[in-house]
Amino acid sequence: MEMPNIQRLDLNPTHTYEEFKLRPGKPLPFGATFVPGGVNFSIYSQHATHCTLVLFERGKTEPLAEIPFPAEFTIGNVFAMVVFGLDYENTEYGFRMDGPFDPTNGHRFDASNILLDPYAKAVGGRSTWGTPPDWNDIYQHRGQLVYDDFDWGDDHALQIPIEDIVVYELHVRGFTRHPSSGVRYPGTFAALRAKIPYLKALGINCVELMPVYEFDEFENSRPHPFKEGELLMNYWGYSTLCFFAPKAGYAATAPHGMQVDEFKTLIKELHRNGIEVWLDVVFNHTAEGNERGPSISFRGIDNKTYYMLTPEGYYFNFSGTGNTLNCNNPIVRNMVLDCLRYWASEYHIDGFRFDLAAILGRDPWGAPMPNPPLLESLAFDPILAKCKLVAEAWDAGGLYQVGTFPAYGRWAEWNGKYRDDMRRFLKSDEGMVSAAAQRIQGSPDLYAWRGPTASINFLTCHDGFTLYDLVAYNGKHNEANGENNQDGANDNHSWNCGWEGPTDDPEINALRLRQMKNAFVLLLVSQGVPMILMGDEVARTQHGNNNTYCHDNELTWFNWELEQQNGELLRFATQMIAFRHAHPALRNREHFRNTDYMGSGYADITWHGTQAWNADWSNDSRVIAFMLCGKHAKNGSMSDDYIYVAINAYWDALPFALPGLPTDLVWHLFANTSVPRPGDIHTPGQEPPLDDQQHILVGGRSAIVLVGKPATTHTEHP
Amino acid sequence: MALETKLELSPKGLAIITLAGELDASNAADFQTQITQAASANCKRLVLIMQDLEYMASAGLRMLAFTKQKMGASVDIYMVGTKPTVQETIEAVGFQYSVIMLETYDAAQIEQF
């Protein structure tokens, strides 16, 4: 049967403004959406009296057109309009919002500003990183139209069980910007894609990308205090301009408007190589700062909705950056949900780490809520159901929720106590053995009902010292930040091993290397989810700067020459990661029970000291050893070797008596950090047996890892 | 410089589109029309002869994404003789994963199906 060729009436314009054909738009979804023949623009504002759509030809300084929303195009608090016949590739758009300028009552409307759509899917204006902007441009950050036509093939989120994850936190630009990276388009998504073989060889299976939402690297830029002609910039990017748009300056192809495709290609290729992609998302504040900051988007669209305000109309500052996003306002809550759903569905993102997430549990007046609706919504959202959700469970307003973050059975946490306790244990502080034992077990003292996978274990992250600096500096050296060394944390729990900063002293350098190896042992034999900071595996240094948020220079870039220079540490870290992947006993989903529930004759975990079966928990002790029974691997669901780990944080070598194994098993040496390469570590499965099965000498400030397995056969794991 | 395009359809199911000049927003629709024609002809392979294409704007890159979607997963797309400047952009975006890039027209590879 031949169908009649009937043109759908609802595609036709109903209104005209100048040369533009219009019709009333659909209120949902918010943002700019393609419809047949046109674009549907929809934006929320409760308190604006009028709204005007401002259209630009791409890159032009003057608007192409300004189209007021007719009164009949308003539905509730939503302005919605379809504009026909636009040149999608060359259109940039924004809005003017009219309404009261009445800060005391929370309103800061100013129709002279052109405002960025909070739902813009791409943003122009900073398309090439570091290119000085035209500050006279009346519209700095421009909404762009985005197609959803990326060819994903059979790609989907990897859904690796979280207990099997090894996270690698990296900065997209810093990872490849250094001249030594040897890749095309350094500092971009494309360049990161070229470095996937390195990540795969290292063995990590998850990258956590520091902020990739559109931000302005020129925000609060200022001259470098010591380097003439160089700027300090908003390098880290914890200052979001637009939650739905990838950072254009991270894309080599952003000048072509292809940043969305370039980033999606990176994600697709990471997935193809078995690597999940988590995003570090910053919903606690925006780039608009306090009442003295610019009006870029939210402030001019509906200040009172988007921000937490004091009764006098000033900005609450729980983020430490000037303002606080009003996340538990229902409108903002929905925006956050829409945003994460968008990234999960359109970008196939595997997980999200929420910066200063404790703020997300505050009510609009700043008080912590026992049952925060946003956190609950995220935990139970059907589209986010397979995404990992990780909280930085504190904020700058003093709310510290490590161990108590409202989790709803879903949320994991950056375990700040793991970092602090393990740093102190590593540098031989007294009284740390009991705390270290808790952290090694996945912090059951903090996550009794949530299991070890609630704990993202880390010794270092972008915020603070790198691993090398942790063993090379007693104090921070942030003078290059231009804040008189007042910024950055003071409680670093670091130890310089005898000299502050670089030294030629071979003993100090050997000790530093050993301490870094010890750190990798601690991190990768701990239950929970280990996270490694970019470059720690090659001893990347920031020369003692523990707050490098403003440095787009060698201080923060990954120097790829270190791959060769510090190959011994890289090899050690790589083998430790491989060891973790090889041994399910290290990756339990539930806490140890400290009993033998498998009938093996051994409890799942047992504690030891210099004497087997007799751990020294005293205040003076710096020694801890534990054995994992292979029959209890993954809570008894898998079979593994027995694993014995001894950490001697005391400064002299100590003999350790080894616990006896089942008669058919023999202790083999996997790692010994007091031995130089190549004997410091072995390939998992190829460990040599110990000559002495009864004792082992563990060097001062050293760790050993043993594997108990049959003498002549290599153990295969399911 | 204008864009010149030519579509050839072979009875065996091979579609060849030759592009010359500059592909940008002003003429991407011409390219799109030929892709649509090739798809309508149920071609089994699509070959884009690019050796005389001097420049490709974002609209052209977008049209490559359209091409892949329009032809479907079962149709192999070959890009032949892409100039280095165009190829660099294609590779930065990542489109090379969706197509087969050849320096020269290889009949043995392209026409055997």
Closest CA to A212 of A157, A140, A260, A151: A260
Which helix (H) or strand (E) segment holds residue A91: the answer is strand A91-98
Within this chain, do residues A486 and A615 fall inside the same structural domain, yes or no?
A: no
pLDDT of residue A712: 64
Quick one: DSSP state of residue A322? S
Q: Do B28 and A89 touch (CB under 8 A)?
A: yes
Q: Does any domain span residue A150?
A: no
Within this chain, do residues A182 and A122 fall inside the same structural domain, yes or no?
A: no
Q: Do B61 and A147 touch (CB under 8 A)?
A: no
Within this chain, do residues A508 and A487 fall inside the same structural domain, yes or no?
A: yes
Within this chain, do residues A238 and A261 fall inside the same structural domain, yes or no?
A: yes
Which two tokens mark B66?
């359209």
pLDDT of residue A214: 97
Sequence-distant (≥ 6) Cβ neighbours of residue B108 within 8 angstroms:
none
Interface test with B, best of A127, A128, A183, A261 (most B CBs within 10 A): A261
Taking the CA of residue A148 and the nearest CA in chain B, the distance in Å comes to 10
Q: Does any domain span residue A409?
A: yes
Q: Does B102 touch chain A (CB under 8 A)?
A: no
Q: What is the CATH number of the domain that holds A410?
A: 3.20.20.80
* Identity of the amino acid at A522: L
How are strands ordered across the β-sheet holding A623-628?
A605-608, A623-628, A642-648, A702-709, A666-672
d(CA A430, CA A360): 36
d(CA A162, CA A390): 11
Within this chain, do residues A567 and A614 fall inside the same structural domain, yes or no?
A: no
Within this chain, do residues A438 and A557 fall inside the same structural domain, yes or no?
A: yes
- Minimal Cα distance from B96: which residue of A? A265
Taking the CA of residue A265 and the nearest CA in chain B, the distance in Å comes to 6
Residues of A in contact with B97 (CB under 8 A): 265, 268-269
Distances in Å between the Cα of B84 and the Cα atoms of A30, A176, B76, B87, B101 are 40, 22, 22, 5, 12
Look-up: residue for tokens 């996340």?
A327
Residue A671's DSSP bridge partners are A681, A705
How are strands ordered across the β-sheet holding B45-56?
B3-9, B14-23, B45-56, B76-80, B100-102
pLDDT of residue A2: 56
Residue A78's DSSP bridge partners are A44, A75
- Minimal Cα distance from B56: which residue of A? A256
pLDDT of residue A716: 39
* Identity of the amino acid at A646: A
Sequence-distant (≥ 6) Cβ neighbours of residue A556 within 8 angstroms:
A171, A174, A235, A542, A548
Active site residue A169: no
Taking the CA of residue B99 and the nearest CA in chain A, the distance in Å comes to 11
Residues of A in contact with B61 (CB under 8 A): 253, 256, 258, 261
Q: Do A256 and B89 touch (CB under 8 A)?
A: yes
d(CA B76, CA B74): 6
Within this chain, do residues A46 and A189 fall inside the same structural domain, yes or no?
A: no
Distances in Å between the Cα of A38 and the Cα atoms of A81, A321, A436, B64 are 10, 39, 61, 21
Residue A280's DSSP bridge partners are A353
Residues of B in contact with A190 (CB under 8 A): 91-94
- Within the 12-51 window of chain A, which residues sit less than 8 Å (CB to CB) from chain B? none
Q: Do A256 and B95 touch (CB under 8 A)?
A: no
Distances in Å between the Cα of A116 and the Cα atoms of A98, A122, A311, A342, A395 are 14, 10, 27, 18, 27
> Judging by DSSP bridges, how do beta strands A101-102 and B3-9 pair with one another?
unpaired
pLDDT of residue A370: 87
Q: Does any domain span residue A716?
A: no
Q: Does B62 touch chain A (CB under 8 A)?
A: yes
Interface test with B, best of A152, A258, A268, A270 (most B CBs within 10 A): A258
The domain locations on chain B are: 3-110
Residues of A in contact with B91 (CB under 8 A): 190
Q: Does any domain span residue A2?
A: no
Q: What is the pLDDT of residues B30-67, one digit of tens each?
A: 898 999 999 888 899 999 999 999 988 888 888 888 88
Q: Tell me which residue in B59, B73, B89 faces A89 most closely, judged by beta carbons.
A: B59
Active site residue A392: yes
Taking the CA of residue B91 and the nearest CA in chain A, the distance in Å comes to 8
> Judging by DSSP bridges, how do beta strands A695-698 and A654-657 pair with one another?
antiparallel
Residue of A92, A355, A395, A536 marked catalytic: A355
Residues of A in contact with B28 (CB under 8 A): 89
Residue A191's DSSP bridge partners are none
Taking the CA of residue B84 and the nearest CA in chain A, the distance in Å comes to 13
> Judging by DSSP bridges, how do beta strands A142-144 and A91-98 pair with one another?
antiparallel
pLDDT of residue B74: 86
Q: What is the pLDDT of residues A409-440, one digit of tens each?
A: 999 999 999 999 999 999 999 999 999 999 99
Taking the CA of residue A268 and the nearest CA in chain B, the distance in Å comes to 10
pLDDT of residue A340: 98
Within this chain, do residues A597 and A515 fall inside the same structural domain, yes or no?
A: no
Spans of chain A, pLDDT less than 50:
714-718
Residue of A163, A288, A338, A392 marked catalytic: A392
Give Cα A88 to chain centroid, integer Å. 33
User: Among residues A531, A561, A584, which one ends one of the domains?
Assistant: A584
Within this chain, do residues A579 and A596 fall inside the same structural domain, yes or no?
A: no
Q: Tell me which residue in B25, B66, B88 faces A90 most closely, judged by beta carbons.
A: B25
pLDDT of residue A325: 93
Distances in Å between the Cα of A500 and the Cα atoms of A473, A493, A504, A534, A565 are 5, 14, 12, 23, 21
Q: Does B25 touch chain A (CB under 8 A)?
A: yes
Within this chain, do residues A499 and A566 fall inside the same structural domain, yes or no?
A: yes
Q: Does any domain span residue A417?
A: yes
Q: How many domains does chain A have?
A: 3
- Within the 683-702 window of chain A, which residues sit less than 8 Å (CB to CB) from chain B? none
State the residue range of the domain holding A92. 9-144
- Within the 88-107 window of chain A, which residues sit less than 8 Å (CB to CB) from chain B? 89-90
User: Among residues A533, A559, A584, which one ends one of the domains?
Assistant: A584
Q: What is the CATH number of the domain that holds A103?
A: 2.60.40.10
Q: Tell me which residue in B28, B57, B94 faces A261 most closely, judged by beta carbons.
A: B94
pLDDT of residue A717: 44
pLDDT of residue A718: 39
Sequence-distant (≥ 6) Cβ neighbours of residue A322 within 8 angstroms:
A285, A288, A289, A290, A293, A315
Residues of A in contact with B69 (CB under 8 A): 149, 151
Count of A–B CB contacts within 8 Å? 65
Sequence-distant (≥ 6) Cβ neighbours of residue A678 within 8 angstroms:
none
Residues of B in contact with A262 (CB under 8 A): 92-94
- Minimal Cα distance from B68: which residue of A? A151
Within this chain, do residues A505 and A621 fall inside the same structural domain, yes or no?
A: no
d(CA A619, CA A273): 46
Which two tokens mark B14?
């091979």
Q: Tell me which residue in A87, A149, A258 faces B93 most closely, judged by beta carbons.
A: A258
Residues of B in contact with A144 (CB under 8 A): none
Q: Does any domain span residue A154?
A: no
- Within the 175-234 window of chain A, which residues sit less than 8 Å (CB to CB) from chain B? 184-185, 188, 190, 193
Q: Does A348 touch chain B (CB under 8 A)?
A: no
Within this chain, do residues A239 and A350 fall inside the same structural domain, yes or no?
A: yes
Taking the CA of residue B29 and the nearest CA in chain A, the distance in Å comes to 11
Q: Does any domain span residue A580?
A: yes
Q: Tell me which residue in B61, B69, B73 faces A258 most closely, judged by beta carbons.
A: B61
Q: Do B65 and A190 touch (CB under 8 A)?
A: no
CATH number of B3-110: 3.30.750.24
Q: Do A151 and B68 touch (CB under 8 A)?
A: yes
Neighbours of B40 (CB within 10 A): 10
Give Cα B6 to chain centroid, integer Å. 11
